[in-house]
Amino acid sequence: MSTSTTEQPGSTGASTDLTLSYWNGVKAVFGLEMRQRLRARAWYIMLVIWFFVIGLVFLLASVTTAATEGSGAILFDLVVGFVLFFGLLVAPGLSANAVNGDRAAGTLAILQITLLTPGQILWGKWLASWVASLAFLLVSSPFIFWALALGGVNPAEAFTSLLMLSVELGIVSAIGIGISALANRPLFSIVTTYMVVALLGIGTLITFGLSYALVDEENVEVTYSYLDYPPGTDFSAPIPASVELECVTRTQLQTVHHTDRTTWLLAANPFVIVADSVPYSRGGDFGQVSQPANPDVYVQPGIMEGISVGVRLLQAGPDYETTCEEAQGFGRDLPDESFPIWPLGLVLQSALAGGLLWLGRGKLATPARRLAQGTRIA
């Protein structure tokens, strides 16, 4: 840590004013944290396990989708989804005991009595946790580039996916650091961080599902079309190939769900944020259901693309008129005014992480007015 010594006019040099730049303090804490993590054998073991798990999933998926049209895009989406899923499991473990773990070991007080401020300590620990989690993304890169080599994914999709994965790992790490500063026990902070991550990933889905009954509208006139054989077709004998299906349109009263009013509940979901931010262009316009270039060949969308399409359909609300093209499986064209939901999700997640860090900063301020019973100082 770099310091500067300033002598006051008229002094004999006995008293000095030591100052430490903010960034240098953050770098000092970051360096200490990274050296501790690099010495830990468990971190390397987790990296090896991560590599083999992602590799096994990728190889099994490669065999399954070998004969599928657009297998490269499907594999890429699969790798991105699994990296995000496992990242949400690993990142809390790398950050949720970073502060109270040092407090329990008696080493946090050593940092607090130096020139370091609570903000510098939190920022340094957060950066170290984020970099440690990004190492798992780096280990997954061979399979990501392998999927890219198979084709079907443009560079914009790949770059955006990797960028948003990094951002999500950083936000989860910040949540873990904030809870670690607030909680006194490492085990409690780890469990709480996993609960918060589960609330974002699964709790948003449950909340959205429970809100389904609140947006019902009954006795709505809906028109739907489907393909059927012409009247008088004899089904007792083989139907000639020359017989063309006819588009039949019917109207009925039914209950519709105005999901356009509650889709915002899914905004903070990490999978929705990553999937909705990617500019997919695999046969359709961005924000619309992709249609295959060859109508005779069905292109199966990947996991993340399917999530993005599903969210956009929910944003569009009920479909009052289903055409024969939609009934054939080409999907529904979304309105041009549909807007992405991922910026709202990033704002909500960042507000949560920032609030926890701000509250945690107050817990690190010295001198402390009150300490929990059994808290170790040094």
Give bridge partners of residue 224 from the DSSP assignment.
250, 322
Side chain identity at residue 115, one-letter code: L
- For the chain, residues with pLDDT lower than 70 are 1-20, 66-70, 228-229, 232-237, 239-243, 281-301, 326-338, 366-378
Distance in angstroms (rounded) separating the CA atoms of residues 86 and 83: 5
Q: Are 362 and 370 in contact (CB under 8 A)?
A: no
Q: What is the DSSP letter of 9?
A: T
Distance in angstroms (rounded) separating the CA atoms of residues 259 and 266: 11
CA dihedral 109, 110, 116, 119 (to 10 degrees): -30
Give bridge partners of residue 276 from the DSSP assignment.
none
Q: Are 224 and 322 in contact (CB under 8 A)?
A: yes
The two three-digit tokens of residue 337, written as one number: 């005014």
Q: Are 129 and 176 in contact (CB under 8 A)?
A: yes
Q: What is the DSSP letter of 261?
A: G
The two three-digit tokens of residue 146, written as one number: 């392998």
Q: Give the 3-state secondary structure percentages of the chain, helix then strand then coil, rounded to 5.
A: 60, 10, 30
* Cis omega (within 30 of 0) for bond into 367: yes
Enumerate residues 6+ apart whose C-beta is below 8 A from 253. 219, 220, 221, 222
Provide the 10 A C-beta neighbour count for residue 34. Answer: 16
- pLDDT at position 273 is 95
- pLDDT at position 119 is 87
- pLDDT at position 292 is 44
* Residue the block writes with tokens 């399917």: 306
Distance in angstroms (rounded) separating the CA atoms of residues 43 and 78: 25
- pLDDT at position 16 is 41
Q: Are 36 and 27 in contact (CB under 8 A)?
A: no
Distance in angstroms (rounded) separating the CA atoms of residues 246 and 228: 5
Q: Are 345 and 200 in contact (CB under 8 A)?
A: no
- pLDDT at position 376 is 57
